[in-house]
Amino acid sequence: MPANFPRMAFPNESPAYREARNALLDAEIALRRQTESVAEMRRNLPPGGEVPEDFEFERIGANHRPEKVRLSQLFGEFPSIMLYSFMFGPERDSPCPGCTHLLDGIDGSAEHVAQRAPFYVVSRSPIARLEALAHERGWDHLVMLSTAGNSYSDHYYGNTSALTPAMREHRGFKNGENWDEPMLNVFRKDGDTVSHFWGSELVFAPDEPGQNHRAMDFADPVWGLLDTIPEGRGATFFPKLSYA
């Protein structure tokens, strides 16, 4: 239980409000502790599986022209990298609004995050298409990578093709019908060996009643802010690509 400490009080609040708010604060403190406990468990994971190949991506280079780059080259001087699978494959006329609003928020953080570990956005669309969208959205700090021509998404759940038959049956997915998914994967490099460290498997875990998977809420300011208002997230609200 949280230790006793002096509590705040706002003008004209009732005793009933303060009692309820104090109880909520205790719960928030417990959640803060649980959040750190989960983060510690994540940091202490043993090494994951070595990547099956040194995947080749395409990006826009320093000369503003497309260039090939291997997974092992994405680390630079850092031991860890993050790759976010963006739902904007070549079969889509427009990007996923859920991924897009998330990346709108992450773009502002990416410059700071990159001081500790590189963050990349990967998608099966050609790099020119990805760069055009980044320019349209004003993403100045996100580094886009095209997975067109490689099997990265098939191995690391950037689409549903890697799901086992049991997973497909549990989720109600038909065989032969596949689509991209919003998967975040972390990789580590030790010498010449690149291994998987963590993936946002909560994407594919059963949803709570009345909720979506919420697998990336820890990095999503939209949902975090809406959780603070009486109306909450709303039963029908979902971010759009643009608003009137």
Residue 25 pLDDT > 60: yes
Superfamily the domain 56-204 falls into: Glutaredoxin (3.40.30.10)
Tell me, what's the pLDDT at 1? 55
Where are the chain's structural domains? 14-44, 56-204
Tell me, what's the pLDDT at 185? 98
Instruction: Kindly give the residue spans of alpha helices, DSSP state H, lying in the chain.
Output: 15-43, 97-113, 127-137, 152-155, 165-171, 221-226
**Measured distance CA(170)–CA(168) in Å, rounded:** 5
Question: pTM of the full predicted structure?
Answer: 0.94
Mean pLDDT of 196-214: 90
Q: Which of 78-92, 136-150, 202-216 bottoms out in mean pLDDT, i.e. has the lowest?
A: 202-216
Tell me, what's the pLDDT at 174? 87
Residue 225 pLDDT > 70: yes
Q: Please, which pLDDT band fits residue 210 given cuts at 50, 70 and 90?
A: confident
DSSP annotation of 25:
H
Joined tokens for residue 209:
């009643």
Q: Please, which pLDDT band fits residue 235 given cuts at 50, 70 and 90?
A: confident
Cβ–Cβ under 8 Å, residues 123 and 144: yes
Render pLDDT for 152-192 as a digit per residue (tens, 0 to 9). Answer: 999 999 999 989 999 999 888 888 888 999 999 999 999 99
Mean pLDDT of 197-206: 93
**Measured distance CA(187)–CA(185) in Å, rounded:** 7
Render pLDDT for 65-115 as a digit per residue (tens, 0 to 9). Answer: 999 999 999 999 999 999 999 999 999 999 999 999 999 999 999 999 999
